[in-house]
Structure 1
Amino acid sequence: MDSRPWRTVHYIAIPLQPTQGSRRAPAATLQQKPYTNKRIERKLVGPTEKLSSEELMESGVYQRFNRAVEKIFDNTEDLDVNAEIEEDGVVPQEYLIPKYELMDLCSEAAKLKSLGAMAIVPPERVVRLLNILEKNIRDGAKVTPIMDEDDEDDDRLWMELVMERILRGMDASLTAMYIMTALNMSKRIYLEDVIERCVQFTKFQLSNTIYPSFDPVYRVDSKRDGFVGNMKRKRAQCKDVRNRTILGLYNKLHEVVGLLADLLSIQTLTDTTVLQLSTLGVCPFFVENVSELQLSALRLVTKVGSLRPLVVYS
């Protein structure tokens, strides 16, 4: 056993003096902003007052639209606008509206619709105008400007005339859709013949003009008797459409498709027309480079499906 005495060792803690580099800077004091009893008010703008019928009739938009319609009526005063024309018959020249007059009418119809003043136009005038527009739609419903690159100059001149007929029918269709999709319109103006003609025109021009122009798969090679070829290779070699006329036609056609979707919310259409609209709405999803048209077609297909869930898309 260890006999050495135990020693008690005491430890003293000596505080270290901070060096010059390790000294901490004094904490910065936060300045408190003085409290102010300030109220923030949001000014709410009240709804704009609707114009009366008299004020709308005195507006410049209505006056210009009325003058354009009156000019068309003067040129067709002696014609029977309800006269039936054979399906494959030629539309008489007297029924056709000049190009620039129809462009002005289409523009003013769009403005009048956005103003909410289309309903103040007398229904009998609207019905007469729609019957005239139907003849102009029919004139350009079965022609297409697509042609072979080896065509001669005479054929190209003929194609320019064809394009003029198509644009006339396009503006007539767009004008008719502006009128029939306006607010608070009379039930008398929803003419089945005009609606069916607009649908037929849109389907034909999409299938025979727009799809071949934007997607090479839909172009038929006349030298190979309709041979289509490799789809991926043809689409990879496809160039962007630069023809301004074709681009303008495309923009107006996809607008008409959207207006047809709006028309389904307003008017009950026949089963035949609904079936045509279902086909019209489905086809764009199999075509490349037509994204704007596909958005309008999606609206149309959704509306057709909500109204007629049992429709078979063919």
Structure 2
Amino acid sequence: MPKFQTTQAAMSIDIEDWFQVENLKSIVARDTWDERELRVEANTDRMLALMDEHNVKSTCFILGWVAEKCPQLIKRIADAGHEIASHGYGHDLIYNLSQDEFREDMKRGIGIVEDISGAKIKGYRAPSFSITDWSIDILQELGLTYDSSAFPTVAHDRYGKLEGMDSGNPIVEIRPGFHEVCVSVLQVGKKGVPWAGGGYFRLFPYPLFKWGVKRILKADQPYIFYIHPWEVDPGQPKMQGLKRSHKFRHYNNLNKCTDRFDNLLGSFDWRPIGEFLEEHLANQASSQASSNQS
């Protein structure tokens, strides 16, 4: 299968387990996590094997709680050459935390993952994309250089919102030296449709989803994809008592996701977000220098 040739497609995985997602929080209390079956290690290993088959490197946004429980997994991710990034520690929505609580969550999560992996973390993704303007200041304070949580032009009941992200530019320097790398949106008329992965990857018919990815790339826009290890695990526990909408969001088409992920890996040239951002900034600087000379 010939690949769609591009330098603008970035692959990312949010490393968290099935019971930590927002859709299950109404029935899975935080103080019961230690009692739950850990499935993240086997699921992530399956994804690492698929990426290795396709020679794909990704950005792994790792939850500190998972790193504590599965340190060898984090070492395998780093040893395989994937970019190590942060997903915080406890998977709390940012806008439900105070600034001090968020800062402590980040310090704990970053410290654990850096100690295990030996990597210096530069990137972050907020749980359920719950990014806020004040959290950007804290991320920069802690030494990070980019975030990839914003869905520009999209309204969603959980997503956060950043000022200055409505321009349509998917990469924005929102603080001096700190960039927002937006999660991908497909413009359909005046409406922005989330097209970056996750539940949307499972909800839409796969040929339609793949068409949308190509449309974004053909418009010379970067494409940022995300997925979770629990999404390639149709055998995970089926929790009872969920709201119908939450049940649908979480369990829809889990049985199809591994094959779709495998196909997607082989259909495009992928790279980690950090590598893509560095090249984008270098090209931007080169263009600016050429413009100044002319």
**Does the TM-score normalized on the shorter chain lie above 0.5?**
no
The structure with more strand, counted as a fraction of residues:
2
Larger radius of gyration: 1
Point out which structure has higher relative CO (alpha carbons under 8 A, 6+ apart): 2
The structure with the largest helix share of the pair is 1
TM range, smaller chain: under 0.3
